[in-house]
């Protein structure tokens, strides 16, 4: 990732591999990373999954409603003793404070 900068650039490079570069990349996988079977085929096969995973993992910060949000409106007034009772009742003892 550090070499290409983004998942899209990785796929761009993979999709434009000629045979010589593919052979070189396979050698790198084997010699430098200890990967005996090349992952290129599976990387290309599951490209859409990788792109969707990136989108799911990206935290959106450019939302107008968030820019004007008052953080104090998000604070909850939680009854801690009742919360601990519920945790105990549900067997979630590791969450009891």
Residues 70-84 have pLDDT tens digits of: 888 888 889 999 999
Q: Is the pTM higher than 0.85?
A: no
Q: Return d(Cα 14, Cα 43) in angstroms, integer.
A: 9
Instruction: Determine contact, residues 84/97, Cβ cutoff 8 Å.
Output: yes
If you average pLDDT over every residue of the chain, what do you get?
A: 91
Domain ranges of the chain: 7-59+70-95
Distances (CA, A) of 13 to 6, 69, 74, 75, 87: 11, 41, 44, 46, 51
Spell out where 1-97 has E strands: none
């Amino acid at each position: 990732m550090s070499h290409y900068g983004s998942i899209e650039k990785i796929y761009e490079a993979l999709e434009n591999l000629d045979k010589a570069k593919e052979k070189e990349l396979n050698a790198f996988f084997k010699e430098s990373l200890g990967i005996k079977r090349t992952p290129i085929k599976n990387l290309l096969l599951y490209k859409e999954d990788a792109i969707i995973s990136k989108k799911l993992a990206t935290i959106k910060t450019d939302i107008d409603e968030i820019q004007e949000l008052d953080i104090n409106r998000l604070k909850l007034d939680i009854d801690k003793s009742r919360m601990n009772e519920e945790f105990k009742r549900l067997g979630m003892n590791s969450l009891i404070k």
